[in-house]
Amino acid sequence: MTSQSSSSRLRIALVALALLLGLALLVIQLVRWQVVQRDEFGPATGLFGQTLGGRSASATAADGAAKSPDRGAIIDINGVPLAFDTYQWEIWIEPRLVPKGSEAALTAQLVELLGPTLRQTPDELLRILQERAPGVVTLTRQGSQAAGETIAGWQRLDISAKALPVRIYPQGTLAAHLLGFVNGEPRAYYGVEERYDSYLRAMSPPFHYAYPENQAFYQQLPEGWREVLPSAGGQDLVLTIDRRLQSITERVLGEAIGQYKAESGTIIVMNPRDGAILAMASLPAYDPNQYGATNTLVLADPAISKQYEPGSVFKIVTMAAGIDAGVITPDTVLTDTLSIEVGDRLIYNSNMRTFGPVTIREALVLSLNIPTAQVALLLQEARFYQYIQRFGFGQLTEVDLANEGPGSVKAPGDSLWSRSDLATNAFGQGLAVTPMQMVRAAAVIANGGLLVRPHVVDSMVFRGRLVQPDTSPMRRVIQPEAADAVADMMVSVVEKGSPAAQVPGYKVAGKTGTAQVAIQGGYHPTATIHSFVGFVPADDPAFVALVKLDVPKAYPWADGTAAPTFARLAAELLPVLRVPPEQMANRP
């Protein structure tokens, strides 16, 4: 009996010793993780823009946020923040664990900390605590960082706090359609947010800015970028847009919609050489911070998803095709008659006038339908539609935004196509384009004949690496000589046909379009879409832009609405882009 007792006591002592050793090792490890090697497991960072440990970041607010990876930041080309994650705190309490007698004091503390975000009134909260309500009671899901960190620091068993990432758009409505938004799930919708969702979600292991190689990389970035990057996730986007240009574009568009009593509108400003989007605006817009209060019809981006018949701006495409194919030159003379019959349809000029013999240049200046249709007839079906395809119509531009539409082009062989479409398509009727497709087509003429891929992301700043898109042209559409000839004709259009588009000190190339609004079974009797597409300076374009105004009621033609809107836009953008006025006296 004595021997058995001694054996039992020995086993108990050994088990106790093992437990003590294990506990000691655990304590040592915790000290190592939380004190000695704390920075190796992710440096502490404040909210977006705060500097902790020598860097600015969008922030790991607390250990409680570690289970929700930070979504990468989005900034403009100069480093202005457009979207980032901040934190709101969810705070809850278990009333049965609150020490008796402390209910009133705790209630007062919580009211002071949580303020208007507290779900309960002070009396309701005190009653809940005193009645020892069962289960967990949520106090707030919108607590401030200060409140959350304070409560987390109490390390109490009866009350807990957890940081939840919340997407913030600090510029409000600016570039809303381009950005898209992230809801509370979180799930991304539209624009850059949806298109780059998997990248921005930063699902890989936690990013360590503290590593020397990462610090060295970020120190080499432009100064404006370094002020906000990296985010805590380390997977961030730099856009091609400039907040200054975007703000100007949105204001000019809004003023035009008001002045000309339009229902809506779109402006796209693009670098014609590489397809970079400098600004892109559509109105009406919305605040992505308040997406839930927005009419869902406003959320989709009209610049890439809303198709329309372009009207006479499309004539630059037909003329470019004819010149490139060698069937016309700017000086070719065609006879403008009262009407021509193509297929089963009579074709007229929009003003129902006839001008007799005119050159191709004069036909474009006067925006005549009949000579333009004659160019398409000279090209014939196969070549005309081959050029339409080469310009990118009827297909996605592949811009890096979500929910792009391809437009609509009927072609020979399609069940709905007829020979009359060859004539009407030549002047932008009977086919549908998106604003992005139309501005890219104008870029072909502005850049010497190359089709570029539009893009809104300049750089992906990926965990110590810089990844940039391939901005080389997709293909040659027309020869440089043909592009130059059409550009020169477009200068004549502005000087003689649309003088309201002129910008003092600069040579402008452009073309207007006043298109009927297609409806079921035909066209609306009065509604029109006004547009102007152009580039400036004409000989060395800083940008190409499309202005589109939907159903303006103050003036019937685009030369009195979209053309002067382009002029106002260009006059404000050119100084920001540091493009000096040309020596107009030396113009050829």
pLDDT single digits (tens) 375-422: 999 999 999 999 999 999 999 999 999 999 999 999 898 988 999 999
State the Cα–Cα distance between residues 247 and 358, nearest whole angstrom: 43
Q: SS3 for 1-12, per residue?
A: CHHHHHHHHHHH
User: Which of 156-165, 233-242, 288-297 is most confident?
Assistant: 233-242
- Grouping H, G, I as helix, E, B as strand and the rest as coil, residue 5 is helix
Q: Average of pLDDT values for 528-556?
A: 97
E strands, 428-555, are 450-451, 457-462, 465-467, 475-476, 509-519, 522-536, 543-550
pLDDT value for 453: 97
pTM across the whole model: 0.84
State the Cα–Cα distance between residues 440 and 272, nearest whole angstrom: 8
CATH code reported for the domain at 245-586: 3.40.710.10
- Grouping H, G, I as helix, E, B as strand and the rest as coil, residue 367 is coil
Given a cut of 60, whether residue 61 has pLDDT beyond it is no
Superfamily of domain 40-239: Penicillin-binding protein 2a (Domain 2) (3.90.1310.10)
The amino acid present at 259, given as its one-letter code, is Q
Domain with CATH 3.90.1310.10 in the chain: 40-239
**Pick from 470, 471, 460: which is nearest to 221 by CA?**
460
Of the pLDDT bands very low, low, confident and very high (cuts 50, 70, 90), residue 69 is low
The amino acid present at 330, given as its one-letter code, is P
Given a cut of 70, whether residue 585 has pLDDT beyond it is no
pLDDT value for 184: 81
Pairing assessment for the beta strands 522-536 and 235-239 based on DSSP bridges:
unpaired
| Dihedrals phi, psi of 253, to nearest 5 degrees | -65, -45
Alpha helices in 43-162 (DSSP H): 103-114, 122-130, 145-154
Of the pLDDT bands very low, low, confident and very high (cuts 50, 70, 90), residue 315 is very high
Domain with CATH 3.40.710.10 in the chain: 245-586
- Could you give the count of Cα atoms lying within 13 Å of 274 in the half-sphere of its Cβ? 13
- The helix or strand, by DSSP H or E, that contains position 472, with its residue range, turns out to be none
Structure tokens at 226: 């370094």
State the Cα–Cα distance between residues 267 and 490, nearest whole angstrom: 19
Confirm if 277 and 456 have CB atoms less than 8 A apart.
Answer: yes
pLDDT value for 32: 44
Pairing assessment for the beta strands 74-75 and 55-57 based on DSSP bridges:
unpaired
